[in-house]
Structure 1
Amino acid sequence: MAGRSGGRSEWYVPVVELQTQWPLLRPHVHHPPSMPSSGQRYSPIGQRRTGHLGVPQKVSLATGCVWDTAYHLICCHGVWPFQFVYLLVMVFCLEATAAALAYVNAGKVDSELAPFSSVFQRYTGSSQDPYSDAVDATQKELRCCGIYDYRDWLATPWFNHSGQGSVPRSCCNSTYHTCNGTLELPGLLYPKGCQVKLEEALLFVLHLIIWSSLAVALVETVGFVSVAQLMSDQPLLEYGILDREWA
């Protein structure tokens, strides 16, 4: 059920460990489950401590906007060299900030995803259960099984209580239509766990930000050199004292 807070819609779901701690996962859970009738309230999106993982992406987006604005001003309106230098300095500061944040967060991805296993421990197999629905949707969309691999399901209460000797069907590789989740044919299951997939995705984005920042820094260096050359080629204005005749 959607709740309103400060004019903005927020989802109150008990699977916030999946949907709020890892921004890349939000698009994969298409149907947010409803709030239980018991009236229990859950933390809304945006109030979890791992939201800073998305800060480098936002800073990079802001950098792109500033860079696009600078290009538009130069090509369409024309700016003085010193104004262009100000824009370059602004872009450089934003890119440096994004790269620093990405570098710091790259070393925290594993620890930030540590609570991931608690969500799988609450799996019940019921489509009416928000945790189960989110886990199944995650495994289907990310094409993963378990936390690190399918064997993680062996330690879950659901596996021990079901007595079926199989993992959820959402673990089945979509290319094998005969898969029913049985552990007798592990080759039909997705080989990687969901936490592994999320770590790879997050690290890819963070490393992309770092390397793209270096590329932008090289472009800015060329820009600084070009501006310095243009300013050195401009003749200096000579000022003198004007003689004025007083009546």
Structure 2
Amino acid sequence: SWSRAFAKVTLIVLGFFLWGAAVALLFGGSFVILTYQIYRIFIHNPFFIVPGWLAITAAFLLFPSGMLAMYEPVRHSRPHRGTLMYLLLVLLCLEASSAVMTQVYLSNTSDQLKTNMPPFFLGCNRTAPVHCGREAVDTIHKQLKCCGISNYTDWMRVPHNHLRTRPALVPESCCKETFLDCRGNMSQPEKLYKEGCLKKLEERLHFVKQYMVWCCAAVAFLEILAALCNGVLMKEQPFQDFRLLESATF
């Protein structure tokens, strides 16, 4: 019938889309984990990476699911169709969990950043870097191209800058890469990154959250379509055991 033929073609095409979706989820999950690894000194929530691992698990399951979606309409194998339906159900659960957990954990991260960042920045002393998370501060400056919490003037509140009679200094990681002679002198603001790191980090986390939620939603939509097409094919192919009951011998 036309519905069966349409379901076959659609399922094969969806198989390729599922492979593409696997790559997108793999990227999103890796981005979540990498973001936590880089900025975990400011994010005190070990469950932050759970949505990332769920997305990576779903990505690896999508590859065999896509293969079954392309292979099953050609072979007309009921066991393969049942396996595909089971995998699609598991994937829907994984992606729903990943999307919800991403929304919950990343929405609560903003308050953590506002609480956790000041001790590392305002307690940082260029002459005694051992007393602060200097490596973490330098990393966030270089990664996000920012300086300070709200902006570069935050370094004016650092204790050792209050005691200096010369121009206040900021960490050299605040210097723009194009100025090789920059030594963190606040009297030369044109050589420094002016935007604050709190806003930049919140924007990155917002991007991660939006990407994961919309990616999971798009992949779930593809999986629902695949499940519907697979269901049409399963419905139009009755069990072989039941066909025996329709025989004239009975």
**Aligned position for 1:240:** 245
**Aligned position for 1:70:** 65
Q: Is the 8 A contact 1:169 1:179 kept in 2?
A: yes
Q: Is the 8 A contact 1:56 1:206 kept in 2?
A: no
**Aligned position for 1:53:** 48
Distance, in Å, in 1 between the alignment partners of 2:81 and 2:36 is 44
Distance, in Å, in 2 between the alignment partners of 1:152 and 1:69 is 52
Matches within 5 A, 1:24-39: 24=35, 26-27=37-38
Structure 2 length-normalised TM: 0.70
Superposed CA deviations along residues 160-182 of structure 1, whole A, max 9, x for unmatched, are 23443232222111112343323
Superposed CA deviations along residues 7-59 of structure 1, whole A, max 9, x for unmatched, are xxxxxxxxxxxxxxx9626458xxxxxxxxxxxxxxxx89x841222221111
Query: Identity of counterpart residues, as a percentage?
Result: 27
Is it true that 1:125 corresponds to 2:130 in the alignment? no
The one-letter code matched in structure 1 to 2:120 is: V
Question: What's the Cα RMSD here?
Answer: 3.1
After the TM superposition, which segments of 4 or more aligned residues of structure 1 sit over 4 Å from their partners? 72-79
**Aligned position for 2:150:** 148
Is it true that 1:177 corresponds to 2:183 in the alignment? no
The 3 A distance-change label for structure 1 pair 25 and 192 is: farther
The 3 A distance-change label for structure 1 pair 25 and 181 is: farther
The 3 A distance-change label for structure 1 pair 127 and 166 is: closer
Distance, in Å, in 1 between the alignment partners of 2:122 and 2:195 is 18
The one-letter code matched in structure 2 to 1:147 is: I
Distance, in Å, in 1 between the alignment partners of 2:228 and 2:69 is 16
**Aligned position for 1:159:** 161
Q: Is the 8 A contact 1:25 1:138 kept in 2?
A: no
Secondary structure in 1 aligned to 2:118? helix
**Aligned position for 2:13:** none
Greater mean alpha carbon deviation, residues 218-227 or residues 169-178: 169-178
Greater mean alpha carbon deviation, residues 59-68 or residues 133-142: 133-142
Q: Is the 8 A contact 1:126 1:133 kept in 2?
A: no
Distance, in Å, in 1 between the alignment partners of 2:200 and 2:234 is 51
Distance, in Å, in 1 between the alignment partners of 2:155 and 2:67 is 54
Where does structure 2 lack aligned partners over 5 or more consecutive residues? 1-32
**Aligned position for 1:199:** 202
Distance, in Å, in 2 between the alignment partners of 1:221 and 1:241 is 33
The 3 A distance-change label for structure 1 pair 59 and 122 is: same
**Aligned position for 1:98:** 98
Distance, in Å, in 2 between the alignment partners of 1:185 and 1:67 is 53
Q: Is the 8 A contact 2:65 2:87 kept in 1?
A: yes
The one-letter code matched in structure 2 to 1:103 is: Q
Where does structure 1 lack aligned partners over 5 or more consecutive residues? 1-21, 29-44
Structure 1 length-normalised TM: 0.71
Distance, in Å, in 2 between the alignment partners of 1:80 and 1:23 is 36
The one-letter code matched in structure 1 to 2:161 is: F
Greater mean alpha carbon deviation, residues 129-138 or residues 201-210: 129-138
Of residues 213, 218, 227, the one that matches 2:216 is 213
The one-letter code matched in structure 1 to 2:35 is: L
Distance, in Å, in 2 between the alignment partners of 1:140 and 1:49 is 21
The one-letter code matched in structure 2 to 1:230 is: L
Is it true that 1:136 corresponds to 2:133 in the alignment? no
Distance, in Å, in 2 between the alignment partners of 1:226 and 1:73 is 13
The one-letter code matched in structure 1 to 2:48 is: L
The size of the alignment, in residue pairs, is 206
**Aligned position for 1:17:** none
Q: Is the 8 A contact 2:36 2:49 kept in 1?
A: no
The 3 A distance-change label for structure 1 pair 23 and 120 is: farther
